[in-house]
Amino acid sequence: MTTSVLKKAILPIALCVPLVMPAHAQLTGAADPDSLATELENTPTETTAVADPWEGFNRKMFSVNNSLDRALFVPAAKAYRAVTHKKQRKGIRNFLANLRTPVILVNDILQGEFGRAGNTASRFVVNSTIGFGGMGDPAERMGIAQHSEDFGQTLAVWGVKPGPYLVLPFFGPSTLRDGMGAGVDIAIDPAIWIRTDPAKYFRYTRAGTSLLSAREPLIEPLADIEADSLDYYASIRSFYLQSRKREISNGRTNFDDLPDIGDFEEFDELE
């Protein structure tokens, strides 16, 4: 396989990772795949009233994505699990999460969450140094908890409504707001702007590793949900929207104590 063919094969995956991480195969939005797996097991999957005017299209795309997942990503994730130790996989997830710190930091600041921004910066410094480049997570043991932010969440804090639910080809579940936000997250990732061959190969390697690292912890939880659900599509849709709601509110059940971002305080769609 020539270099040009290899690039063409890997490039779509590299572009998809910022959208599908950290929950590949129909899910996005959790900071840690292990935590996401736990959420999947504990979150009720009953169908709730949602804005899904494009359900026909969404179900078709969901089926395509699910077929691709079964044929490609589940076998690859199982192979990845077979050749790595649990501690190694955890270290890789820590490393990948550390690489995403600049994007999280920018969104912390844009949301007016300066305390969380300080935690994000502290985590990066601690884990990049005494954490062996991010493979370890001494910051967590020091009480500096990990969290995830993206521009879709930032838009929500600014008052932008989510719009209709949308399943994107390959990318998985989203909304109009989250899809646009993901594009901004790609643009503010420093690795995207380094135009050297080593940087390109780094992006490709990170893309493939991120996909495997994200999918591996979800092998059993997603399989169980599919087996137990009367409507797998509706279950994943419900989980995605509930997960995004929790992330946007930073775990709060009351939105009143969110930071004041001027006049952008429209959380009607999130309640």
SS3 169: coil
- Residue by residue, pLDDT tens for the chain (271 residues) are 444 433 443 344 333 443 344 334 344 333 455 555 555 555 554 444 568 999 999 999 999 999 999 999 999 999 999 999 999 999 999 999 999 999 999 999 999 999 999 999 999 999 999 999 999 999 999 999 999 999 999 999 999 999 999 998 888 999 999 999 998 998 988 888 888 888 889 988 998 999 999 999 999 999 999 999 999 999 999 999 998 998 888 755 443 443 443 333 333 333 3
CA distance 242 to 166: 15
> Tokens 């991480």 sit at which residue?
21
Which amino acid is present at 177? R
User: Per-residue DSSP letters for 231-252?
Assistant: -HHHHHHHHHHHHHHHHHTTT-
Which segments of 137-252 are extended strands (E)?
A: 165-168, 172-175
User: Per-residue DSSP letters for 98-134?
Assistant: HHTHHHHHHHHHHTT-HHHHHHHHHHHHHHHHTTGGG
Cβ contacts of residue 180 below 8 Å, gap of 6+? 151, 152, 155
CA distance 188 to 43: 32
Token representation of residue 31: 């900071």
Q: What is the pLDDT of residues 52-66, one digit of tens each?
A: 999 999 999 999 999
pTM of the model: 0.75
Taking residue 265's Cβ as centre, other Cβ atoms within 10 Å add up to 15
CA distance 90 to 94: 6
CA distance 124 to 263: 32
| C-alpha torsion sign, points 48, 51, 57, 62 | negative
Q: What is the pLDDT of residues 22-42, one digit of tens each?
A: 334 344 333 455 555 555 555
